[in-house]
Homo-oligomer: A and B are copies of this chain.
Amino acid sequence: MFISLQKQAEEMIRRRGERVTSGRVRILALLLAEQRAVSHHEIEERLQGKYRLDRVTLYRVLEWLNENGYIHRVVGDDRVWRFRANADVNPHQHAHFECTRCTRVICLDDMKTEYSPPLPAGYRPQQVELTVKGLCAECA
Residues of A near any B CB (own CB < 8 A) = 75-77, 79, 81, 95, 97, 100, 106, 108, 110-111, 113, 115-137, 140
Contact = CB atoms under 8 A, between A and B. Distances in A.
Given A77-B75, A119-B108, A120-B137, A125 B132 contact: yes
Contact of A79 (B79, B110, B120, B126): B79
A127 B132 CA distance: 6
A131 B121 CA distance: 17
Nearest to A111: B117
Nearest to A108: B117
Nearest to A127: B133
Report the copy number of this chain in the oligomer: 2
Nearest to A135: B124
A128 B124 CA distance: 22
Nearest to A110: B118
Contacts of A108: 117-119
Contacts of A79: 75, 79, 81
A132 B116 contact: yes
